Amino acid sequence: MENALKVKDLSAWFGEHQVLKNIAMDIRRNSVTSVMGPSGCGKSTFIRCLNRMHDLTPGFRVSGDVLFDGRNIYSEKIDPVLLRRKVGMVFQQPNPFPRMSAFENVAVGLKFNGKKRSRSEMAEVVEKSLRMAALWDELKDHLDRPGTSLSGGQQQRLCIARALAVEPEVLLMDEPCSALDPVSTAKIEELIEDLSDKYTIVVVTHNMQQAGRISDFVAFFLLGDLVEMDRAAKIFTNPADKRTEEYITGRFG
């Protein structure tokens, strides 16, 4: 299994407050890696470092390397906009663009990637992306509806389709189910499993049961440190670190 991302000595600060401390991990291609840990442990900051989402956050700074396709994404030669097409992000709260139809929400990224497409070509990409997001059958007759008029679960899958439309290699998901009902959550989890055949997926979750269901690998964070990372089965049955065991068994967090 080759690596999609390699993180080396990654540290991050907001002002004087250090939120990540010398993180090192390999993220395998075509796998699901869950990042878990208690609130405030650095999970969301870490995942945002993987596609430079904090670049414009006042007071934020980072050291260390994140290698994607062998190149450090923090190099001055890397265009963050182009990076985010290859390393896409789905957020905790579904965020379809207001005043845009479902079709336009999925197609919007295609208009900015420098390649002109006809309406029929765009329609083909939108259909393909919605099918991959398990949303086509529900929306195919309602593509002109505002994206914001869909249910919460449909909005989240629409945002996943929007991310897939620009053909990323890696998909980052920051607690993608925390705002959803159990039925929608089950659909997103099933979707994550299906997509991992083609994409590298990194998921932040506070839900250990979810991490157990969807993950190939699990990374446990605590107070800005990566305590341990291993295959999901190993983490949940025989963790190497006592702190991981205490978190999994509910003694804190």
Phi, psi of 3 (to 5 degrees): -85, 140
Give residue 114's pLDDT band: very low, low, confident or very high (50, 70, 90): low
pLDDT in tens, 140-162: 999 999 999 999 999 999 999 99
Nearest to 215 by CA among 31, 7, 5: 31
Instruction: Specify the CATH number for the domain of residue 215.
Output: 3.40.50.300
Q: CA 179, 184, 185, 187 torsion: positive or negative?
A: negative
Q: How crowded is the C-beta side of 80, counted as CA atoms within 13 Å? A: 12
Contact 34, 203 (CB under 8 A): yes
User: Is the per-residue pLDDT at 45 higher than 80?
Assistant: yes
Percent of the chain, pLDDT > 70? 98
Give the pair of three-digit tokens for residue 167: 């053909």
Q: Is residue 41 part of a domain?
A: yes
Q: Is residue 67 part of a domain?
A: yes
Could you give the C-alpha distances from 209 to 34, 168, 196, in angstroms and in order? Answer: 11, 27, 19
pLDDT in tens, 222-240: 999 999 999 999 999 999 9
Phi-psi region of 64 (alpha: psi -120 to 50; beta: other; left: phi over 0): left
Domain that includes residue 169, residue range: 3-248
181-194 burial string, b = 16+ CB within 10 Å, else e?
eeebbebbbebbee
pLDDT in tens, 179-223: 899 999 999 999 999 999 999 999 999 889 999 999 999 999 999
Please tell me the predicted confidence (pLDDT) of residue 56: 87
Percent of the chain, pLDDT > 90? 89
Q: Is residue 218 part of a domain?
A: yes
Contact 23, 7 (CB under 8 A): yes
For the chain, the average pLDDT equals: 94
User: Is the per-residue pLDDT at 110 higher than 90?
Assistant: no
Contact 181, 202 (CB under 8 A): no
Q: Is residue 90 part of a domain?
A: yes
Give residue 116's pLDDT band: very low, low, confident or very high (50, 70, 90): confident
The crossing angle, in degrees rounded to 10, of helices 152-165 and 182-195 is 20
Number of folded domains that form the chain: 1
Q: Is residue 253 part of a domain?
A: no
Separation between Cα atoms, residue 228 and residue 219, nearest integer Å: 6
Q: Is residue 123 part of a domain?
A: yes
Give residue 115's pLDDT band: very low, low, confident or very high (50, 70, 90): low
Q: Is residue 138 part of a domain?
A: yes
Please tell me the predicted confidence (pLDDT) of residue 113: 66
